[in-house]
Chains A and B, each alone.
Chain A
Amino acid sequence: MSYKTFNRNQFETFHQPMFFGENVNVSRYDTQKYKIFEQLIEKQLSFFWRPEEVDLSTDRKDFQQLPEHEKHIFLSNLKYQTLLDSVQGRSPNVALLPIVSLPEVETWIETWAFSETIHSRSYTHIIRNIIPDPGQVFDDIIENEHIVQRAVSVTEYYDDLIQYASLYNTHGEGRHEVDGKVYDVNIRDLKKKLYLTIVSVNVLEAIRFYVSFACSFAFAERTKMEGNAKIIKLIARDEALHLTGTQHMMNLFAQGKDDPEMAEVAKECREEAIDIFITAAEQEKEWAEYLFKDGSMIGMNKDILAQYVEYITNQRMQAVGFEPAFATKQNPLPWMNAWLVSDNVQVAPQEAEISSYLVGAIDSEVDTDDLGGFEL
């Protein structure tokens, strides 16, 4: 039992479950078992954008004028976002592609991860534009204990699944000894790991990201760092799509029409899944404490952000059929909705300040000869 790049077995393509069926062979999209994933791919492709489209020259000035504690908030938030997208740019591919069994789900995962790489590129674009030495910021992501803590909690489920799925793909089910360590690999346990991974991915994209978006938009609400907010708006539009993807997977699992065993697993892991949501919310609140350790900013402080964490966690839990875990019912940041409307994301080149579009239009070379015919 090992992974096949092109599976030559004869099998009914559309009778496969989403995961742990036959490996995909022909990438065909003529008919789909779940057409939602095809729709998600189409939508994601229509959203394509490039970070260079957004001009950040005023952000550099804004950033220099920010007080020190706000610089800390802005940079830490950006580091966290960079970490999250670094993880999301590769992990769906590494963890999910070897076990996926439907062509449209496979392509959705690839399209999804690709769009995350654009997000990563845009953080580099932002950091390069506002800081003279981008290396400082990137290095701190793996040195700063607060961010490393975050990294552990967003990747533990991924890593667990990847390890066991690769053993399953190379040795199949059973008890395997690798480097003196014994691993029990069975499909039921793998499905459990898969379910929990999807939950933690949903938490990452639907809660953790939104908390960081709130901080980015809080700056822009004061007309500071608006170029950055414009990029985050584009990222948020993509993330709304991604979280819909994982919500669909979770709900399809829970329904059991896809794979009856997965429904049992979902039921069995319900408490654990709820716990992932609550733990993540608590971690985000701790993070808020770190962000605002040197002082808050106008319109945003530790308490407001913590309330927003509770509000958004409740929303996301309800979407996948869990009871809301927190008492907060009102959105403490009503202006967030407005920043997240996809209608307002500009796409026309003359409006979006695409650098190649503007550079071609202006002749910025001035020579003394140009003033030759000019007399006083």
Chain B
Amino acid sequence: MSEILAQKKDLFEQDAGSAQNKIDSDTDHQADIFDLDGGAKFESTPDFQLEMESATDLESSVAEPIPQIEFFLPETNPEQPEDSDQLELDGMPKPVHWVGVDGLEQPARHQHARTLLESLEAQSIQIPYQCREGYCGSCRTQLIDGEVAYLEEPMAWINEGEILPCCCVPKGDIKIKVQS
């Protein structure tokens, strides 16, 4: 065992010595970048290549999603769905309901989104939320005009004239006032 080790050690030292000689003799030659068997030699990699690598590293770390990205809903715009699994009635597009928001000139539209909250978020109208299931009441919003339908019965307390956008859809055109 020790004999084999000793032999290997000798071989290694020879290799290292010859490689060092090569680098010392002609570092500028293109041929020297590769070993005889075609493998790239680490020692002779030009500096600029290293810089490029570090540059791409930087880029990829910027592009990498921040760890909490999964929490920011919705990831896709629910108001502009691609192919949906849902059967569309022939020749009948989903109706558009306009959602007037107090203090905004342009009304938001509700057509494809699953809930009113999703469609408002897709149009950059921020409403505080927590559970998104109708039990915490964080998204409580005033309904000024129109009617909404609940997809699931809301558990949080709602006063007269208030709605929970996280679990309802407009029945027609509506007007709301987002809590400040």
List residues of A whose CB falls within 8 A of some B CB. 36, 39-40, 43, 221, 223, 237, 240-241, 243-244, 247-248, 251, 315, 318-321, 329, 331, 335, 337-344
Contact = CB atoms under 8 A, between A and B. Distances in A.
Given A221-B68, A339-B71, A321 B130 contact: no
Contact of A240 (B71, B128, B130): B130
B138 A341 contact: no
A251 B159 CA distance: 9
Contacts of A343: 73, 132-133
B71 A338 contact: yes
13 contacts: A40-B155, A240-B135, A240-B138, A241-B155, A243-B136, A248-B157, A315-B138, A331-B128, A339-B68, A339-B71, A341-B73, A343-B73, A343-B133
Contacts of A338: 68, 71-72
Given A240-B130, A337-B130, 16 more contacts: A39-B155, A237-B131, A240-B135, A243-B136, A244-B135, A244-B137, A244-B155, A244-B156, A244-B157, A247-B157, A248-B157, A251-B159, A335-B68, A340-B130, A342-B133, A344-B70
Interface of B: 67-68, 70-73, 128-133, 135-138, 140, 153, 155-157, 159, 179-180
Nearest to A240: B136
A52 to B, nearest CB: 24
A337 B159 contact: no
A128 B159 CA distance: 44
Given A319-B137, A319-B140, A343-B73, A337 B129 contact: yes
A318 B137 CA distance: 11
Contact of A223 (B67, B72, B156): B67
A329 B180 contact: yes
Nearest to A222: B67
Contact of B131 (A36, A248, A251, A342): A342
Contacts of B180: 329
B159 A321 contact: yes
A341 B129 contact: yes
A341 B134 CA distance: 11
A76 B180 CA distance: 32
